[in-house]
Amino acid sequence: MDDNKKIREIKGKVEDYKRFGFILLSLSVFMFLGLIIPNDVPMTGNYAEYMMGGIVLSLVMAFIFHRKAMHYRNQLDNEEYGQ
């Protein structure tokens, strides 16, 4: 019974981290598109630099969440197959 609870918890973590990574990846794509699509309003200040920083930050966080999801996926495989 305790093993089933642990397996469900690990499955939940895998799903959550995959979801977080996908959301951050989608956010970075939309931010990038907003940066490269020209508009009529002139950019003032360091708008482009802040946007690029946000894009890089969200991509790095998406990568980290993906790695965590794969770590927990491997842990789940080890739990299920008893290795």
**Got the DSSP string for 8-63?**
HHHHHHHHHHHHHHHHHHHHHHHHHHHHHS--SSPP-TTHHHHHHHHHHHHHHHHH
Q: What is the pLDDT of residues 10-55, one digit of tens each?
A: 999 999 999 999 999 999 999 999 888 877 777 677 888 889 999 9
Residue 56 burial (10 A CB sphere; 0-12, 13-18, 19+)? exposed
In the block, tokens 């790695």 appear at 67
Q: Residue 1: what pLDDT? A: 56
